[in-house]
Amino acid sequence: MPGPTRRIRKFRLIALFLIPCAFWFVWLWYARRPIHRLPGPRLVYWAWERSEDLRFLNPQTEGVAFLTSSVELLPDSTRVYPRMQPLLLPPGIQLVAVVRIYSHAASPAALDAQQFEETLQTLLAATKEPRVSALQIDFDARESERTFYAKLLHELRARLGPSYPISITALASWCIGDRWIHDLPIDEAVPMLFSMGKEEVPIRQYLGAVGRFPEPLCRGSLGISTGEPWPDIAGNRTRVYVFNANAWTPAAADGLRSKLHRGI
């Protein structure tokens, strides 16, 4: 019979073996977790409804998410506004079609079957734009509109199939405490960290203290603006969408690249 000392030594040897294995397992699990972001370049320029000449961009390292149409949800109808401004692009650059959806608090949208179908068809049409490889939806859905939005995304996924890249923009609050987006059939949710209004101070304080969003869908990408402070939570695996209130220029792009290279 081995004595107590030998048994203690045996347990210590087993512990010395198991503890590194446990750390290795945790590290491997963390490293292999899916990153919810669209495939492609890390840096993406938002091109909104204005004339843009982006032929100076590098297709190897940069992409463009361009507004292709806007959908206005009204109490008795749906209005669709196609893009009217020219957009010049370099050959081979990755393109994400963006559809903006909006309504008015003072006159709530119908959210009926006809409005659903018209909105859905607008989204499907955006995916058929030349050279487009992904779809992004910009809809700051109010609480009363979330059921409509979720149903829209589920039907969109069913129509496009499981592999088509779908992105949505998200209020930062959706990624922290109000995580209603958790089960949506999307590839990424882009937290909009600019023009946050009264939520700006608590959200920036939260990110400064915690360093990441609790919602996994929001951890692979960020939406920032050239005219506002940038967060300190973007890593090398983060896809960064950048908004510019003015037309993009080579100088503005060079400044953005330099800042991103140094780390946000």
pLDDT digits (tens, 9 = 90+) for 166-178: 999 999 999 998 7
Look at the chain and report how many structural domains it folds into. 2
What is the number of H-type helices and E-type strands within the chain?
5, 11
Give me the sign of the Cα torsion angle 108, 196, 193, 172. negative
- Predicted TM-score of the model (pTM): 0.85
- The yes-or-no verdict on residue 22 having pLDDT over 60 is no
With 0-12 / 13-18 / 19 or more C-beta atoms within 10 angstroms meaning exposed / middle / buried, residue 241 is buried
- On whether both 29 and 45 belong to a single domain, the answer is no
**Is the pLDDT reported for residue 261 higher than 90?**
no
**Do residues 182 and 202 share a domain?**
yes
Look at residue 36 in the predicted model and tell me its pLDDT.
76
pLDDT at 29 over 80: no
Which range marks the domain in which residue 18 is found? 1-33
pLDDT, tens digit (0-9, with 9 covering 90-100), for 30-41? 334 456 778 889
Strands 132-138 and 43-47: unpaired
Examine the domain organization and report whether 1 and 96 are in the same domain. no
Backbone angles phi, psi at 240, to 5 degrees: -115, 120
Domain identity same for 77 and 201: yes
Please provide the average confidence, as pLDDT, over all residues in the chain.
86
Sequence-distant (≥ 6) Cβ neighbours of residue 172 within 8 angstroms: 191, 192, 193, 196, 199, 203, 213
Contacts of 157 (CB under 8 A, 6+ apart): 164, 166, 185, 186
Least confident interval from 63-77, 120-134, 217-231: 217-231
**Taking the CB of residue 5, how many other CB atoms lie within 10 A of it?**
8
Residue 228 identity? E
pLDDT at residue 156, rounded to an integer = 98
CB of 243 closer than 8 Å to CB of 223: yes
- pLDDT band (50, 70, 90) for residue 23: very low
Does 45 lie in the same domain as 133? yes
169 and 69 inside one domain? yes
Assess whether 57 and 25 both reside in one domain.
no
pLDDT band at 262 (very low <50, low <70, confident <90, very high): low
In this structure, the answer to whether residues 59 and 186 fall within a common structural domain is: yes
Tell me 104's DSSP state: B
Is the Cβ–Cβ distance between 58 and 74 less than 8 Å? Answer: no
Do both 225 and 155 map to the same domain?
A: yes
Residue 205's pLDDT band, with cuts at 50, 70 and 90, is confident
Whether residues 125 and 1 share a domain: the answer is no
* Residue with more model confidence, 149 or 262: 149
Residues 29 and 133 in one domain: no
Q: Quick one: average pLDDT of 39-64?
A: 95
Q: Is the pLDDT of residue 17 over 70?
A: no
CATH number of the domain residue 214 falls in: 3.20.20.80
Higher-confidence position of 3 and 59 = 59
Determine the Cα–Cα distance for residues 247 and 232; give it in Å rounded to an integer. 25
Percent of the chain surpassing pLDDT 70:
83
Same domain, 19 and 98: no
